With several copies, the nearest count.
Chain A
Amino acid sequence: MNTEFIIEAAKAIQQSILANEHTLESLDRAIGDGDHYINMKRGANVIVEIEAELAPLKPSEALNKIGIKLLSTIGGASGPLLASFFISMAKVLESQAHENQGLKENGDESTLKIATAFAAGVQAIIQRGKANLGEKTMLDVLIPVSNQFVLLTTQNCDIKLICATLIHTAEQGMLATKDLIATKGRAAGLGERAIGHIDPGAKSCQLMIEAVCKLSLKELNG
């Protein structure tokens, strides 16, 4: 993973968010306050806008900048959570050497580093939001994905397989939120009425993971 990849990933995420306007908006209208799409769009747009500022940076610096930019751009519940994710991920990468080697180079160690950093990011979300698995939040996507990611990389799995698996794991986590009662976030007030609706934050995280994994697959294949 190099900075070029991060910039491409930002664009892929932006495209995916914009393409899912209706879905994201409807989900947050159903069990939230209807602004999740707008918040995510604002965030996605801003990280694409700062491309030129990101380009000269190391990956850890780029991720940190993304986190700080998201913190002052998104707002709402998703803002500080996603910001914490990127800032923590950056911290872990920064504290390790050689992080300029990317997925493209198919270095197992590098992939493990990314998985570790990802896990640290998810941990930051858990700490900030005081939520955990099964509370009908973005964590129902992020925690399984993070666990799977670390597991597969420690098992030296093929990156293509990892990507394909994570796409699947994210989707399952996202779908699973449908049958949950929310105990964190805005939907927590709804009780049983939240059942039957997918959590908007889980959906957008699933979309982002899918976008980044597909980008990796494309680059590996292309």
Chain B
Amino acid sequence: MKKFINKIDNILIESLSGFATAHSDLVTLHLDPNFLTRKNKAQNKVAVISGGGSGHEPLHAGYIGYGMLDAACPGHVFTSPTPDQMLMAAEAVHADKGILFIVKNYAGDVMNFEMAAEMLPFESATVLTSDDCAVINSTYTTGRRGVAGTVIVEKCVGSLAETGADLQTCKALGDKVNNRTASIGIALTSCTVPAAGRPTFDIGDTELEMGVGIHGEPGRRRETMREADELVRDCVDAILADFKARDLDTANNSEALLLINGFGATPLMELYLIYNTAAKLFSQHSIQISRSLVGNYTTALDMAGASVTLCLLDDEIKRHWDSPVHTAALRHER
């Protein structure tokens, strides 16, 4: 394992400190328990808080700021944060309209946020993101995993919260965006958790993992490397099949947002190549890609690989996707 680190136990704090210094106009870092808040506390709005294990940067701290999150709670690498972090974060950003937690659907995250919500002295609601359609047979699951689609949920909910919408309205939009979103990822290499010091899984020089999770969890199957077009076709088919299974209508020239997300070690050149193929394939299924995002937005440490996310737009989602946002990782003013 070769990484830019000092002591393994300090990675998180040193990295968070660097983040907070580099973006001191946007965020404030609080330590022990660790959480980050918006520089200027927002008033009279639902406070939107997310969090999860670290290692998915820029998720979530990179999305703190106007139009998106009020606070983020970073856990240890790939490990859910703990309730004390969420409680302190909620305390710091609560602005009289309750707390909305955005939580990726993993047992650990769900339980820790749940315990925080139970202890919270404020009204709260939770949006669970579960866009990963890699795992098909739902009889085996406690629900789907939350992956890159989380960024879209955070963006839209953050935008709505800025308008002063109430807690349940914000939660409803979050749930809607999550329901209209599906993702699937491919790993070409494993990630290496610093404290573990070795790759999470072994994978051959000509193998890939189809349907991998953002912590290196196994996916649908291990396969032999193939052309990008074929791999992307499988991803597109998986997403369309998932929409179909969930009775989401993709006919009639639906508009959609296509997010090609890099896992950390795959260059933009390849991500745009994937985008090129995915956009073509979706349009062959009469899905019109009218919004796009390509880059490393929900990573898995140093994993090489990428995921394809499609979010079916409607006027409301489109409006909130397009609205101004000012965070470290996502920024536009109109």
**Cα-based distance from A144 to B244 in the complex (angstroms):** 42
Of the candidates A80, A130, A191, the one having the most CB atoms from chain B within 10 angstroms of its own CB is A80
- A128-B111, A185-B142, A190-B140 given as contacts; is B80 within 8 A of A76 (CB)? yes
Assess the A71–B84 pair: CB atoms within 8 A: yes
**Cα-based distance from A76 to B4 in the complex (angstroms):** 25
Output the least CB separation between B90 and chain A (Å): 15
Segment among A5-13, A26-34, A56-64, A167-175 that sits at the interface with chain B: A26-34
Chain A residues near B114 (CB, 8 Å)?
A: 80, 128
A181 located at the interface, meaning its Cβ lies under 8 Å from any Cβ of chain B in the complex: yes
Assess the B142–A184 pair: CB atoms within 8 A: yes
- A79-B108, A79-B112 given as contacts; is B140 within 8 A of A191 (CB)? yes
- A33-B217, A74-B82, A189-B134 given as contacts; is B196 within 8 A of A25 (CB)? yes
**Cα-based distance from A79 to B106 in the complex (angstroms):** 13
A80 in complex: contacting residue of B77, B115, B200, CB < 8 Å? B115
Of the candidates A34, A129, A130, the one having the most CB atoms from chain B within 10 angstroms of its own CB is A34
**Cα-based distance from A177 to B145 in the complex (angstroms):** 22
- List A residues at the B interface (Cβ < 8 Å): 25, 29, 31-35, 37-39, 42, 71-81, 83-84, 128-130, 181-186, 188-191, 193
Assess the A75–B217 pair: CB atoms within 8 A: no
B217 in complex: contacting residue of A38, A74, A83, A189, CB < 8 Å? A189
Chain A residues near B53 (CB, 8 Å)?
A: 75-76
Assess the B76–A38 pair: CB atoms within 8 A: yes
B135 located at the interface, meaning its Cβ lies under 8 Å from any Cβ of chain A in the complex: yes
- A25-B196, A190-B140 given as contacts; is B83 within 8 A of A77 (CB)? no
A183 in complex: contacting residue of B140, B195, B216, CB < 8 Å? B140
**Cα-based distance from A72 to B83 in the complex (angstroms):** 7
Write the chain A residue with the least CB distance to B216.
Answer: A33
Output the least CB separation between A119 and chain B (Å): 20
B67 located at the interface, meaning its Cβ lies under 8 Å from any Cβ of chain A in the complex: no
B112 in complex: contacting residue of A29, A80, A186, A193, CB < 8 Å? A80
Assess the A33–B84 pair: CB atoms within 8 A: no
**Cα-based distance from A130 to B217 in the complex (angstroms):** 22
**Can you offer 15 A-B residue contacts whose CB atoms are under 8 A?**
A31-B218, A33-B78, A72-B82, A72-B83, A76-B79, A77-B108, A78-B108, A79-B80, A84-B115, A181-B140, A185-B107, A186-B107, A188-B135, A189-B217, A191-B137
Output the least CB separation between A186 and chain B (Å): 6
**Cα-based distance from A72 to B79 in the complex (angstroms):** 12
Number of interface residues of B (CB under 8 A): 39
- A75-B81, A79-B82, A190-B218 given as contacts; is B140 within 8 A of A38 (CB)? no
Assess the A76–B108 pair: CB atoms within 8 A: yes
A34 in complex: contacting residue of B78, B85, B107, B108, CB < 8 Å? B78
Output the least CB separation between A4 and chain B (Å): 28
B215 located at the interface, meaning its Cβ lies under 8 Å from any Cβ of chain A in the complex: yes
Chain A residues near B111 (CB, 8 Å)?
A: 77, 79-81, 128-129
Write the chain A residue with the least CB distance to B141.
Answer: A188
Chain B residues near A130 (CB, 8 Å)?
A: 142
B193 located at the interface, meaning its Cβ lies under 8 Å from any Cβ of chain A in the complex: yes
- A35-B77, A38-B76, A189-B140 given as contacts; is B82 within 8 A of A75 (CB)? yes
Closest 6 CB pairs of A and B: A33-B215, A77-B108, A189-B135, A76-B108, A80-B111, A77-B107
Chain A residues near B213 (CB, 8 Å)?
A: 33, 186, 189
Assess the B80–A186 pair: CB atoms within 8 A: no
Chain A residues near B78 (CB, 8 Å)?
A: 33-35
Write the chain B residue with the least CB distance to A80.
Answer: B111
**Cα-based distance from A217 to B1 in the complex (angstroms):** 42
Output the least CB separation between B54 and chain A (Å): 10
Assess the B112–A75 pair: CB atoms within 8 A: yes
Assess the A77–B106 pair: CB atoms within 8 A: yes
Assess the A34–B80 pair: CB atoms within 8 A: no
Q: B234-275 toward A: CB 8 Å interface, digit per residue (1/0)?
A: 000000000000000000000000000000000000000000
Write the chain B residue with the least CB distance to A182.
Answer: B140
Of the candidates A32, A42, A84, the one having the most CB atoms from chain B within 10 angstroms of its own CB is A32
Output the least CB separation between A59 and chain B (Å): 23
Chain A residues near B219 (CB, 8 Å)?
A: 189
Write the chain B residue with the least CB distance to A36.
Answer: B79
Write the chain A residue with the least CB distance to B75.
Answer: A75
Chain B residues near A193 (CB, 8 Å)?
A: 218
Write the chain A residue with the least CB distance to B145.
Answer: A189
Chain B residues near A129 (CB, 8 Å)?
A: 107, 111
Output the least CB separation between A28 and chain B (Å): 9
Chain B residues near A81 (CB, 8 Å)?
A: 111
Q: A33-B193, A128-B115 are in contact. List 5 more A-B contacts (CB 8 A).
A: A34-B193, A72-B83, A79-B111, A186-B106, A189-B135
